[in-house]
């Protein structure tokens, strides 16, 4: 490794009792049989659960599909690799000769896997409470950005702003049907993007609520493409 891994531990805010766990977490499989693949497996599950719990607590009104999409965005390979780069994790990796020659220390897949492995190492070294604190600190800004994106603006407004920022035409809302009794009506509305031939549906006790539901469904579809 090019740099002292204790500097990485300091950046994470955790002092390892077992330095070998940290070193294993930073060892790619190309460097030998004792590598970070098992710790990566553990870290992947650990991050997924901690972020799922954080989203569940922050967004009590979000349904399972919305929570799953938010979690997927936060823990996808590109996001983990960006966090790893912020820690300069590539400087600490132990790679085999082939990966060194081809720039493996800067590759998204290797960085993301190594970050998962290092966090798995934190868990094995100090337990769940410490690992949770490290993960939450690491993801704090991204969780706050997720909160800011979803707070204060209704789905129709957020969809309009998303489309305008990309110079795309605004959606059309079509009433598909109105059912139920006069005093207890249910509106079914479609949200249509003409430039992409994409359509979602929503329902509610008023046209406005049905349009908001359809806009939310559209946001969930286009933001995670």
Under DSSP, the state recorded for 182 is T
Q: What was the pLDDT predicted at 147?
A: 64
Q: CA end-to-end span of the chain, whole Å?
A: 37
**Structural domains present in the chain:** 5-150 (1.10.1520.10), 155-222 (3.30.160.20)
> What element of type H or E holds 82?
helix 77-86
Binding-site residue ranges for Mg(2+): 40, 113, 116
Under DSSP, the state recorded for 205 is S
As a whole number of angstroms, the distance between CA 122 and CA 87 comes to 15
As a whole number of angstroms, the distance between CA 139 and CA 60 comes to 19
> What element of type H or E holds 181?
strand 172-181
**Per residue in 195-213, pLDDT tens?**
888 899 999 888 988 999 9
Q: What was the pLDDT predicted at 98?
A: 85
Please provide the DSSP assignment of 132-160 as one string: HHHHHHHTHHHHHHHHHHHSSS-HHHHHH
**Per residue in 148-190, pLDDT tens?**
566 556 789 889 988 998 999 999 999 999 988 766 789 999 9
Contact 80, 44 (CB under 8 A): no
Would the pLDDT of 40 be above 90? yes
Would the pLDDT of 95 be above 80? yes
Contact 171, 198 (CB under 8 A): no
Sheet strand arrangement including 198-204: 172-181, 184-193, 198-204
Q: What was the pLDDT predicted at 36?
A: 96
**Per residue in 123-148, pLDDT tens?**
999 999 999 999 999 999 888 878 65
Would the pLDDT of 101 be above 90? no
Q: Which of 4, 23, 37, 44 is catalytic?
A: 44
Q: What was the pLDDT predicted at 224?
A: 62
Catalytic, 220? Answer no
Q: What is the mean pLDDT of the chain?
A: 90
Catalytic, 116? Answer yes
Determine what percent of the chain is predicted with pLDDT higher than 70: 94
pTM above 0.75, yes or no: no
Which has more confidence, 150 or 221? 221
Angle of CA points 81, 16, 38, to nearest 5°: 55
Q: What was the pLDDT predicted at 151?
A: 53
**Per residue in 8-21, pLDDT tens?**
999 999 999 999 99
Would the pLDDT of 114 be above 80? yes
Q: Which of 99, 116, 125, 211 is catalytic?
A: 116
Binding-site residue ranges: 40, 113, 116
């Amino acid at each position: 490794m090019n740099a002292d891994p204790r500097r990485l531990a300091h950046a994470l805010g955790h002092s390892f009792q077992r330095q070998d766990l940290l070193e294993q977490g930073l060892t790619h499989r190309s460097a030998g049989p004792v590598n970070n693949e098992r710790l990566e497996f553990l870290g992947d599950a650990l991050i997924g659960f901690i972020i799922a719990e954080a989203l569940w607590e922050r967004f009590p009104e979000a349904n399972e599909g919305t929570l799953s999409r938010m979690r997927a965005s936060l823990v996808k390979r590109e996001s983990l690799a960006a966090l790893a780069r912020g820690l300069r994790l590539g400087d600490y990796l132990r790679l085999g000769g082939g990966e060194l020659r081809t720039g493996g220390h800067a590759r998204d897949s290797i960085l993301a896997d190594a970050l998962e492995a290092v966090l798995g190492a934190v868990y094995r070294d100090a337990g769940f409470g410490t690992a949770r604190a490290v993960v939450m600190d690491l993801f704090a800004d991204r969780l706050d950005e997720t909160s800011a994106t979803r707070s204060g603006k209704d789905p129709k407004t957020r969809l309009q702003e998303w489309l305008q920022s990309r110079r795309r035409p605004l959606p059309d809302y079509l009433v598909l049907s109105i059912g139920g009794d006069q005093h207890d009506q249910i509106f079914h509305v479609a949200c249509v993007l003409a430039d992409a031939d994409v359509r979602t549906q929503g329902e509610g006790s008023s046209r406005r609520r049905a349009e908001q539901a359809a806009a939310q469904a559209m946001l969930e579809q286009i933001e995670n493409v």
